[in-house]
Structure 1
């Protein structure tokens, strides 16, 4: 997760106006949607993220639901004048006033969950969002990589709740820490606001006085949102990203195609092990964590996506009765076949995925360090094929590098954000600064449940 200090000046708002993130966004008017559901973490997020859009739906008499997850009591933890309970009550009043300005008839849902404590409230938030979605609804949430844990928790819940409906993610703190021009956001959507929508948004923002003005002159009561930062939300547009398209490194994925076979053919001219699978302690440790995360001792039929030179394949071979390992180019497969020449239950095939998806059903699919080579459309197709190819108790393991790589169409975090909409229940999640590993199972059974301990 990105770390930042809200007290820092942050990125100059004027730089964003000249950036591909803003200039490259595709214009939309949201006229095709029959209702709007906005799910955010804190009072004031609803206005910053989508105040103009909320006003638009209200003006056209389309139903609006605003779901605010936390009570907002944690914005001033060192306040000498205001207790968390008092701050919670004040922020609730501010929220009601702001929503009344934007959409007087909106259905406002305040969950009242602890500010800063949403990480373990995923199922509750999913249920609340899902229960408000109807046919023709547009779902808007905070962004999955916004750099604030509560914002990201709500975004992940929204991904799981969307159920195939359109889901736009609104960056908030991204405007503070992001780097304009670093990555063109061709998948961004921009809503051009009318003067009336901008006016309502400005008045709603002003209603959140506890955030935009000091609680008192004393230390600890400073305004949380600076005038400089708020300038980002006084534009004549609101910017959104599609779910799964938001990058951890500060932009949306490129609209380019997935990396090609030619890219990898050239890459493997560097040698048999250009990734350092055989020599780097980082890779050895990561493989050990992946293997330890498998929820069963043995599997009947496994599929490894992007097997490269077969180092992980060799470890998996001892845990499966039959293993199909694929890669997009032949060079690493030749190395892998030599490595596992004495393992007749392991097959290696050159396949371009997802177009050349193999037949059959698998009780284990391993997607290790390959999802970010695809464009967003291909990744979603790949995930759908994984789900369809898993047995009733099948397991999907995904593991990806989290740092930005200029050549890759997607980030590792974007891959895992897309997996959150797979419909395959998650049973284990390992997150480090360097990589994320998650285990999903068709039946949702944990190891203890599977072995009769729970």
Structure 2
């Protein structure tokens, strides 16, 4: 754990049922009195917190921590349960915790990082003996500057079978900037992979009060005496945090008895949220670079020429382009269709596409997120190019159904995707095309190159 201090900020707000309250932690310190466990015990006794029910499809548990010991404090009981159930368990820690004792005269930051990584391995082995552990070595105290990098690692760890994964991370409103950054990264990664997300508070128990938790989303995992003993042993493995490193100033204990009392309960508590989470990665790509895909390069120009040449008809009536980005392909599709609707979820991309197609007749560019909305009517041509791998597997399945269902009886579906693995996303081009081909839609054109593949499909019978 890193030191529990942050700048002061205003109070908290209680959310409506089914919503997350806007929670901001007051200024707090790990070494000063906080909310006693007795107060939380009274709050918990007054509430009927539902038990945690995990998805039937889940087979793997991936626990994230900002610092070594977060996993033991927040989720060692869950790790033990998953291990006993035969699940694959992994622990991924963003930092090595080198900032917990900045004034230590005994251990340098590098030395402390080495010790804390060893403590992490020992602690995880107590809770889940077969689990894997890894530390990414992001800077302790500045994880917020590396959220995109952390998302990439988490998505890669989850892989393409996210529906089998329970992802457990610090709560996004925990009050410590590193914890909140890891929580945000976990939420984004869960959205991209369809992993089931759980969040565990840590510092909230120290600075917070009853009104600071979104109780409608809180779930409990009961711990029997053996599980509680395992959790105590897992926490005890983090010796640099639960006891002074030495008697010298700067080597003081980090986790006081008052703080540790919050983690000796008969239940572990998790915040379980559902629904889509904000993920502005593609918006930032288009906002920060007017030509993020280098659409005027030879590779892109040739690929568009191959795409147009693959269309079996010279002209289509009503066409739809999903994921138009800056509009380069839209300009070409406009020459092969009587009316074209180009859509993208990014406001910046839509603005760029509108500028590019300005002056073209019967071309409309509209901001639509196809995960939640689909244009009305039927289309003679639907183009899905270089966008399928920016969806989660579940969202891709929904896109497959909607796009094929929206084709006219003799309509065509155009697919073109990069073959290689995009960093930070679980799917690659071949998996995207495989999802469409699995429907049994007739293949009218197939083109395969080392860098991209292209299919034109008809409407399934």
Partner of 1:164: 194
- Structure 1 segment 435-454 matched on structure 2, within 5 A: none
Counterpart check, 1:26 vs 2:13: no
**Gaps (5+ residues) in structure 1?**
246-292, 302-318, 322-360, 366-381, 394-420, 424-443, 445-454
* Greater mean alpha carbon deviation, residues 115-124 or residues 24-33: 24-33
Q: Distance in 2 between matches of 1:50 and 1:194?
A: 14
- CA 99–184 in structure 1, closer or farther in 2 if over 3 Å, else same: closer
Contact map agreement 1:21 1:188 (CA 8 A) in 2: no
Which of 93, 107, 115 does residue 90 from structure 1 map onto?
Answer: 115
Normalized against structure 1, the TM-score is what?
Answer: 0.55
Normalized against structure 2, the TM-score is what?
Answer: 0.54
SS in 1 for 2:51: strand
Q: Which digits, 9 at most, give the CA deviation of each residue in 1:175-210, with x for residues without a partner?
A: 111112456602111101122211111001011010
Partner of 2:83: 58
Q: Which digits, 9 at most, give the CA deviation of each residue in 1:50-70, with x for residues without a partner?
A: 000001111122110110110
Q: Could you tell me how far 1:386 is from its partner in structure 2? A: 6.5
Partner of 2:145: 120
Q: Could you tell me how far 1:81 is from its partner in structure 2? A: 2.0
Contact map agreement 1:25 1:187 (CA 8 A) in 2: no
- CA 294–68 in structure 1, closer or farther in 2 if over 3 Å, else same: closer
Counterpart check, 1:152 vs 2:177: no
Q: Distance in 2 between matches of 1:387 and 1:149?
A: 37
- Structure 1 segment 271-310 matched on structure 2, within 5 A: none
- CA 126–70 in structure 1, closer or farther in 2 if over 3 Å, else same: same
Partner of 1:78: 103
Q: Which digits, 9 at most, give the CA deviation of each residue in 1:270-301, with x for residues without a partner?
A: xxxxxxxxxxxxxxxxxxxxxxx9999xx999
Q: Distance in 1 between matches of 2:244 and 2:80?
A: 27
- CA 99–364 in structure 1, closer or farther in 2 if over 3 Å, else same: same
CA RMSD of aligned residues (A): 4.4
Partner of 1:385: 372
- CA 202–239 in structure 1, closer or farther in 2 if over 3 Å, else same: same
Q: Could you tell me how far 1:123 is from its partner in structure 2? A: 2.6
Q: Could you tell me how far 1:238 is from its partner in structure 2? A: 0.6
Radius of gyration: which is bigger? 2
Q: Distance in 2 between matches of 1:383 and 1:74?
A: 43
- Structure 1 segment 418-429 matched on structure 2, within 5 A: none
Q: Could you tell me how far 1:214 is from its partner in structure 2? A: 0.9
Counterpart check, 1:199 vs 2:229: yes
* Greater mean alpha carbon deviation, residues 142-151 or residues 182-191: 182-191
Q: Could you tell me how far 1:45 is from its partner in structure 2? A: 0.4
Q: Distance in 1 between matches of 2:252 and 2:217?
A: 36
Which of 135, 154, 160 does residue 110 from structure 1 map onto?
Answer: 135
Partner of 1:404: none
Q: Distance in 2 between matches of 1:36 and 1:155?
A: 16
Contact map agreement 1:16 1:22 (CA 8 A) in 2: no
Counterpart check, 1:37 vs 2:62: yes
